[in-house]
Amino acid sequence: MEVVINVLGILRDSLHYYREVRLIIDTHIHIPNEWIKSSVHPREVAERLIEFMYESGIDVAVILPIAPYIPNDYVYKVVSYEPKRLVGFASVVPNPADVAISELRRAIKDLGLKGLKLHPGIQGFCIRHPHVVKVLKEAGELGIPVVIHAMKGDLSTLYFKSTKEHTLPTPDRIEDYDLLPALAPETTIIYAHMGGLFGFREFMCLAAGHPNIYLDTSYSLVTIVEEIGADRLSTYIKHLGADKFVFGSDHIIGLTPKWLSAKRQIDIIKTLPGLSDEEKELILSGNAKKLMKIK
């Protein structure tokens, strides 16, 4: 009996060590807009997020708000309840640029938020607008990454489905997304959703041409694998390089269907054929730790 207990203890310690060295960071989490309208307390949001993370095997989660619907101060309050496991990004409507830059500086310097989230469709702007470029350059000066929604020809992300606010089909072309990294070369830009099922090949080519461009796997990981298979996706990732991808789920508390769960998306990455353990770890945590300065 004593031997069994000792063995179990060793296994427990080994598993604990494994979790410590192989963190999973979800870089794409949303808070439902309705929770703001319903005045859900930030502590409850933090508790619900930690519960979701425990169920999904996630160590650190990055909250991406979308201005003006989720205030930066609200994100700050949520993160303050679990500062070791939750990371908050800021969001601003980039037009007019002077107002956006002022709020971005406050959110980063005063609130301690770690990045910027922009969504052309929901926020109603074209990414090629000069105001957007000014905001991106400011983000570069602040030393923070910028996550930009990028899903060619597809508005079917969970956030679009959950929000009741007016959304616009984004008129941006791949050329516009290709222009941004050249106009703001000092800014780290992460294009969310890998460009979507209908644009991931183009966005991977775009990322290959710019050292400051990265792709997050959220939502589209599932649809791409279902369409072309895990083998072909692995080939694309190997060709571009695993150091160009960060894992994200696009999870919205209480609204994400099981077929698109974070756990399923994590399992897809863990079982991608042809990728080494080191490459998978880069996608699941290593790249995010570097780009978002997560300890």
CB 166, CB 191: distance < 8 Å: no
Domain for residue 88, yes or no? yes
Domain range enclosing 228: 24-291
Domain for residue 1, yes or no? no
Q: What is the pLDDT of residue 173?
A: 84
Domain for residue 7, yes or no? no
Sheet holding 86-88, edge to edge: 86-88, 60-63, 25-30, 251-252
CB 64, CB 91: distance < 8 Å: yes
CATH of residue 91's domain is: 3.20.20.140
Domain for residue 193, yes or no? yes
pLDDT along the chain (295 residues), means of 10: 45 43 89 93 98 98 97 98 98 97 99 97 90 98 98 56 47 84 97 95 97 98 97 98 98 92 98 97 98 93
Domain for residue 270, yes or no? yes
Q: What is the pLDDT of residue 153?
A: 64
Q: Which residues pair with 121 in a beta bridge?
A: none
Q: What is the pLDDT of residue 254?
A: 86
Radius of gyration of the CA atoms of the chain, in A = 19
Domain for residue 94, yes or no? yes
Domain for residue 19, yes or no? no
3-state secondary structure the chain: CHHHHHHHHHHHHHHHHHHHHCCCEEEEEECCHHHHHCCCCHHHHHHHHHHHHHHHCCCEEEECCCCCCCCHHHHHHHHHHCCCCEEECEECCCCCHHHHHHHHHHHHHHCCCCCEEECHHHHCCCCCCHHHHHHHHHHHHHCCCEEEEEECCCCCCHHHHHCCCCCCCCCCCHHHHHHHHHHCCCCCEEEEEEECCCCHHHHHHHHHCCCCEEEECCCHHHHHHHHHCHHHHHHHHHHHCHHHEECCCCEECCCCCHHHCHHHHHHHHHCCCCCCHHHHHHHHHHHHHHHCCCC
Domain for residue 18, yes or no? no
Work out how many domains the chain is built from and give that number: 1
CB 193, CB 119: distance < 8 Å: no
